[in-house]
Structure 1
Amino acid sequence: MNKLDRATWYTFFAAILSYILVYGFELTHFTLSIDEENTDNVMATLTTGRWGHALLREFIFPEPYAPFFTLALALILMSFASVVICRYLRLDTLHAIFFSVLIAALPQLAYQFEFQNQAETVALAILSCAASMHFAGKGGIKNAAAFVALTIVTLSVYQSLFLIGASLICIRMAFDFYRNEITPKACFKQIALYIVLVGVSLVFNSLITKFLIALYHTSASSYLSAMIGWGKHDTHTIVHEVLYLIANYFSAPAPYGLRMFSVTLLAFVIIILASFWSGRRAFYITLFSLAALASPFILNVLLGSYLPPRTMTQLPAVFAGLITLAIMALRSKTLGIAVCAILLACGSAASNQLFYSDYMARASDEHAAKMMLDTIYQKYPQFDIDKNPVFFYGAYEPKNIWKLPRADTFGASFFRWDGGNNNRIYNYFKISNIADFLRPSPEQVDRAIADGTDMASWPNRNAVAMKQGVVIVKIGPVLSPYNR
């Protein structure tokens, strides 16, 4: 095995072992999560512009997911992506291993992998984005075409993932200036070419999306446009909110497990001090380190709104890149090993806690679901699941002492999410093999809402009633807007 092969495999195994430590619980204990209750997401993802994901799931990958297999494949693809990124950053074997451990250690992907109906396609898109960067700074039609094609693949799966490339180019420039391997002129030429090619990719992807939406006779969803905050509130309010949201990632209110990202501030300070102390190109090293640090929040600024942690996909690369550069600047192998070990342990603990909170939420949901079903049959022995529709009024959250703060959908109940959305509840009962309820007609829904208004709420036995052939289960006092 030659030196290049050995370095590649060391990097890969460092990454895969780290990812297994961080995502081991979900890998070995598949848990149904919010949004995983639908068994066919192809058209839904196509309407949001994620046509690559839709086609991959339609023709290649299992839909909606295969327990263990889907996440295992995603972790393998992410490990290859780590290898490709390390090659792009031109890291030696030791620092490539550090980077691979660190990029897995920050558990941002937990907020993606919670939704296994997109886990391996997202990982493939990240690998595609990483591969595209090898062609970004090179001239020639072939290199430009390769970059555009790979970027379109990335965009077609999950639109925000292409911005990982922006973070990587900032990190690469910081490393190159630290190693004195690039001139300012060559640097800005690469960046300008990258921006132009990204623009071309966005145009082509938009055209392909419109073509496929027309081909499948569907319409574009307003999901993405609904996220735009600019114009909906005054500028001062939006700027204040965006700055507050960015600051959260460097302080206590960060999403659970992502407070670790604040370590990059210390790494940033070390990089600046070391570059000035060593007489290197401190200005450019500082400039691109700062740009890398700010890059995960590009989308927040462009949209002028809060984005869920699953969209903050640039955080791990920036986290790993800046800390690895700081370790390189300090020139201490022992310190590097210690830092990586501590951060990997912290990330593993946080990620597995998140997935366990979902695991326990499903245990609570299953208990509540079976109690409701038992109550229906006990009160109404004549109930026929194939003839009598069931309507759930309101929302209910079974007790889950493992639910974590600021954890997005982790630990959430199907009976509580969206205020008690009947579609989610029906699908949860069905996919969990508890019951496949008949759904009421719009007229029956109107009557059930009127009849359920004055009923007691679950877990009161009188929360279940059969009226005019429709079973009403009032699980909470406030009707969900999705059920009107």
Structure 2
Amino acid sequence: MDTAQTILIRPSSIRAAINLFAIFVAMYFSELASFSLSIDEEVAAFRTDSSIWIAQGRWGAYLIERFLIPNPVMPLLAPAIFGAGCVAAYLLVMDTIDKHRLSIAEYACFTTFCAFPTWFFIVEFYSNIAAVGIGLAASAFAIWLISKNGSPADGRRFLVAVVAGGFAISIYQSFAPAILVLGIAVCVLQARAGIERSQPKDLIRVGGLVVGSAIFYAVGNAIFKSFISKRSEYFESLFQPGFFFQHPVVVTGRVLEAIGEALGLDRGAYGVILWAVPLLLILGVWTLFKELSRTRLLLLAAALVCLFIPFGVHVLAAGIMPLRSLVGLPIAVWLFVYLAVTSNNARISIVSAILLGVVIFQIQVIQNYRQASSYLVDKHDTLLAAAIYERLTAMPGFDARRAYALCVFGGLPFATNYPRPPSSTVGYSFFEWDGGNAWRITYYMKLLGYSNVNGPTDQQVDQTIVRLSTMPVWPALGSLEIQGDIVLIRLGEGPSYANQQALTRVANR
């Protein structure tokens, strides 16, 4: 009996799983050992209605939060579940190429599979990462079902694979291209390992799996959305397919720029230039070209396409998508790294192993930069929240038994010499995001125990906006005052977009 269950209980697989998880812990130690909140998690921590995921088309994430992890904003467990998903996915992929006992090279390559820096942009969100780990495991399981050598390719297995793939997409839509990348990677590695299969048919089967999974996801999405009336303006604003036809050159330029950034060729993306990554990609391409005998050009072309598939969504989004959406890119990079490090050419494998060591070191540098930024901004925000509340309690007329609405003008930026990637929230203060968002600030302060501060109503904002615009800027005396049950605080010189709207509303009356 050869099933996913027997893979996971096989003694060699258990040892491999323990070793792989230990590697994951080493790569993500700073994330596992800390609890630094990111922007949006102050809201997620108080969320009681998880249907927000359905509004974003992520009904699988809704099911996980509704029935498995009701409050995913927690330390250790959420990133650990992601790690378990990475381990399960890697073992399933290795099993498709009949690797039951992993070599040192295969363990080393796991670092790029689970910790290529694009992962960090989603790992920073506790509310997402556990579900994403489950989605990655489901994606690999779907590919395993249709690709495992020696298993019957019957309709039932394919239908189960479609369900698994569709569920992965329902957790995060970016798993659709990731499944395609993973399927192509398995086809390439099986051909290289000499496993007797029809590669063209396997590639067609992978394409059919992606289409079937997308249909299953779309049907489920329609069913779940029929029960709610919510919409996600942010999610809907991302997709602008018509923009490509109007400005194809602009979109193409943006996509190429995004590819360069994601592969680490621009310091702005990660704070470090990953110069060893393109060298490993070249060595992987050369290895594939030299070691494949049959269908060489087809599989080489398919492998190269893997590097571009994750950016397909960019074309539908005017060329601009956050780095965290590229869940298929670590798989594509891992494919070429694996090919290079396990090359039959001793010189290539040695050079590739050295380059992989450089990449692992650079990944740790990136991770530690992010950890330093998170630690310092957390200290900044904690102390600032305490200073604001201390100033508030010292104001005449303050009553600790009374609830106050907090009206904010402007934001207070956190200055740091550590990298703050534009696609990330790491290093950004709750008191500066959105130019100073009163609701984010009060949610954050509530998490710290300042329970008698709340966000304001539009009426309260309009009532105080003129006075706020004339107050001195924090921490000057007079930058905080109380008007009845409203607290006014000016954190910055410039108004936020919400402040501008309030000033316009008042001026038009």
TM over 0.5: yes
Over the matched positions of the two proteins, sequence identity in percent amounts to 20
Report the equivalent of 2:132.
Answer: 122
1:82-481 matches, cutoff 5 A: 82-91=90-99, 93-94=102-103, 95-137=105-147, 139-181=153-195, 186-215=198-227, 217-232=228-243, 234-250=247-263, 251-253=265-267, 255-256=269-270, 259-260=273-274, 263-275=276-288, 277=290, 280-281=293-294, 282-332=296-346, 338-384=354-400, 386-406=402-422, 408-467=424-483, 469-481=485-497
- Residue 392 of structure 1 contacts residue 474 of structure 1 at CA under 8 Å; is this kept in 2? yes
Change in Cα spacing, 1:348 to 1:37, as seen in structure 2 (3 Å) is same
Higher relative contact order (CA 8 A, sep 6+): 1
Change in Cα spacing, 1:206 to 1:222, as seen in structure 2 (3 Å) is farther
Query: Whole-Å Cα distance in 2 between the matches of residues 330 and 105 of structure 1?
Result: 25
Report the equivalent of 1:66.
Answer: 74
- Residue 473 of structure 2 contacts residue 491 of structure 2 at CA under 8 Å; is this kept in 1? yes
Query: Whole-Å Cα distance in 1 between the matches of residues 36 and 78 of structure 2?
Result: 13
- Residue 170 of structure 1 contacts residue 291 of structure 1 at CA under 8 Å; is this kept in 2? no
Amino acid at match of 1:97: Y
- Residue 173 of structure 1 contacts residue 288 of structure 1 at CA under 8 Å; is this kept in 2? no
SS of alignment partner, residue 473 of structure 1: strand
Query: Whole-Å Cα distance in 2 between the matches of residues 326 and 457 of structure 1?
Result: 57
SS of alignment partner, residue 424 of structure 1: helix
Deviates more, 1:115-124 or 1:167-176: 167-176
SS of alignment partner, residue 389 of structure 1: strand
- Residue 283 of structure 2 contacts residue 352 of structure 2 at CA under 8 Å; is this kept in 1? no
The answer on 1:35 being equivalent to 2:40 is yes
- Residue 176 of structure 2 contacts residue 214 of structure 2 at CA under 8 Å; is this kept in 1? no
SS of alignment partner, residue 461 of structure 1: coil
Change in Cα spacing, 1:167 to 1:387, as seen in structure 2 (3 Å) is closer
Query: Whole-Å Cα distance in 2 between the matches of residues 344 and 316 of structure 1?
Result: 13
Change in Cα spacing, 1:207 to 1:223, as seen in structure 2 (3 Å) is farther
- Residue 96 of structure 2 contacts residue 190 of structure 2 at CA under 8 Å; is this kept in 1? no
- Residue 280 of structure 2 contacts residue 336 of structure 2 at CA under 8 Å; is this kept in 1? yes
Amino acid at match of 1:141: G
Report the equivalent of 1:51.
Answer: 59
Query: Whole-Å Cα distance in 1 between the matches of residues 36 and 458 of structure 2?
Result: 33
Q: CA RMSD in A?
A: 2.8
**Unaligned 5+ residue runs, structure 1?**
none
SS of alignment partner, residue 415 of structure 1: coil
- Residue 21 of structure 1 contacts residue 348 of structure 1 at CA under 8 Å; is this kept in 2? no
Query: Whole-Å Cα distance in 2 between the matches of residues 110 and 440 of structure 1?
Result: 34
Deviation at 1:387, TM superposition (A): 4.2
Query: Whole-Å Cα distance in 2 between the matches of residues 157 and 75 of structure 1?
Result: 16
Query: Whole-Å Cα distance in 2 between the matches of residues 405 and 125 of structure 1?
Result: 25
Deviation at 1:321, TM superposition (A): 1.4
Q: What do residues 114-150 of structure 1 show as CA deviations (whole Å, max 9, x unaligned)?
A: 1111221110110000110012357421022111110
Deviation at 1:459, TM superposition (A): 2.0
- Residue 113 of structure 2 contacts residue 330 of structure 2 at CA under 8 Å; is this kept in 1? yes
Query: Whole-Å Cα distance in 2 between the matches of residues 12 and 307 of structure 1?
Result: 33
Deviates more, 1:230-239 or 1:50-59: 230-239
Deviation at 1:158, TM superposition (A): 1.1
Change in Cα spacing, 1:278 to 1:72, as seen in structure 2 (3 Å) is closer
Change in Cα spacing, 1:430 to 1:355, as seen in structure 2 (3 Å) is same
Deviation at 1:188, TM superposition (A): 2.3
Change in Cα spacing, 1:456 to 1:310, as seen in structure 2 (3 Å) is same
- Residue 136 of structure 1 contacts residue 147 of structure 1 at CA under 8 Å; is this kept in 2? yes
Deviation at 1:331, TM superposition (A): 4.1
Q: What do residues 60-93 of structure 1 show as CA deviations (whole Å, max 9, x unaligned)?
A: 2241333222222322222222211222344462
Match of 1:77 among 85, 98, 101: 85
Change in Cα spacing, 1:200 to 1:56, as seen in structure 2 (3 Å) is same
Change in Cα spacing, 1:422 to 1:393, as seen in structure 2 (3 Å) is same
- Residue 85 of structure 2 contacts residue 137 of structure 2 at CA under 8 Å; is this kept in 1? yes
Change in Cα spacing, 1:462 to 1:373, as seen in structure 2 (3 Å) is same
Q: What do residues 236-269 of structure 1 show as CA deviations (whole Å, max 9, x unaligned)?
A: 2222222222222341245216843x64432332
Amino acid at match of 1:171: A
Q: What do residues 371-415 of structure 1 show as CA deviations (whole Å, max 9, x unaligned)?
A: 112222223353556244221111111334445444621111001
Query: Whole-Å Cα distance in 2 between the matches of residues 259 and 173 of structure 1?
Result: 31
Query: Whole-Å Cα distance in 2 between the matches of residues 440 and 244 of structure 1?
Result: 41
- Residue 117 of structure 2 contacts residue 270 of structure 2 at CA under 8 Å; is this kept in 1? no
Query: Whole-Å Cα distance in 1 between the matches of residues 415 and 288 of structure 2?
Result: 52
- Residue 10 of structure 1 contacts residue 97 of structure 1 at CA under 8 Å; is this kept in 2? no
Q: What do residues 16-50 of structure 1 show as CA deviations (whole Å, max 9, x unaligned)?
A: 12211221112111111111112216122121111
- Residue 54 of structure 2 contacts residue 62 of structure 2 at CA under 8 Å; is this kept in 1? yes
SS of alignment partner, residue 170 of structure 1: helix
Query: Whole-Å Cα distance in 2 between the matches of residues 463 and 385 of structure 1?
Result: 23
